[in-house]
Amino acid sequence: MQPARPPGYSSVSMPESSLLPILLVPDKRLRTKTRAVGPADLDTVRELAPRMLATMYKAPGIGLAAPQIGVMLRMAVVDLQKDDQPDPMVLINPEIVAQSTELSTREEGCLSLPNQYADVTRPTRIKLRWLALDGSKQELEADDLLATCIQHELDHLDGVLFVDHISALKRNMLLRKLMKELKNKTRDEE
C-alpha cells in the first residue's frame, strides 16, 4: 500500500541490486489468487522478506504483497514505522478471522498503481492470524491505518486491487489516468 503522504522511512540496508521490481497494472499476476506458503517454500520466503521490505521502503510504501513482485505465495510485509522507527511485520499465510461491522473510509494508494488514490471503505477493526518467519503462530487485533493496510495487502493475495472497492466509473477514470501516465513515462524514457 502506498499512503497519500508517505512518512520519511528508514530503509533496510541492502544493495540496490537486491531490490525487486514492482509489477504495475495491468499485469495479470496482480489479478491472480496466490497459494499458501508450504514447508518447501520457507527458504524462499526467508530470502524474500528482507528484499521485499527494502523494496517497500525504497518505493516508498507501507505494505507490499508477494504478487506485486511476481511471487504467487500468500505473503506480505507491512511497516507503519511507529514513532519513525522500523516496526516491520512479515505475514505468512495471513487470514482475517474477525472484523468489525463498523466501517471507516481512508484514502488508499498502491505501489502497483503509482500516484493513483481513492477513498476506500473497509471494516475499522480486524483480527489477524499469520505465521512469522520463525514459524510461530501470531495473532493481532488491528484498527485504523494498520487495519486498512493489512486488508489492502491481503486483497492482493486474492487478486483484488483497491480500485475494486470503488465505483466502476471512478475505477475506469483512475485506470485510464494511470495508463496515460505510464504511456507518457515510457515515451519520455525513449
Query: How do residues 119-149 score in pLDDT, each as one tens digit?
Result: 999 999 999 999 999 999 999 999 999 999 9
Catalytic residue among 107, 141, 153, 190, which? 153
pLDDT number for residue 4: 47
Q: What is the pLDDT of residue 159?
A: 98
112 contacts 23 by C-beta, under 8 angstroms: yes
- In the chain the domains, ranked by start, together with CATH numbers, are 16-189 (3.90.45.10)
The residue ranking higher by pLDDT, 106 or 188, is 106
Active site residue 190: no
The span from the CA of 146 to the CA of 143, in Å, is: 6
| Model pLDDT for residues 91-112, shown as the tens digit of each residue | 999 999 999 999 999 999 999 9
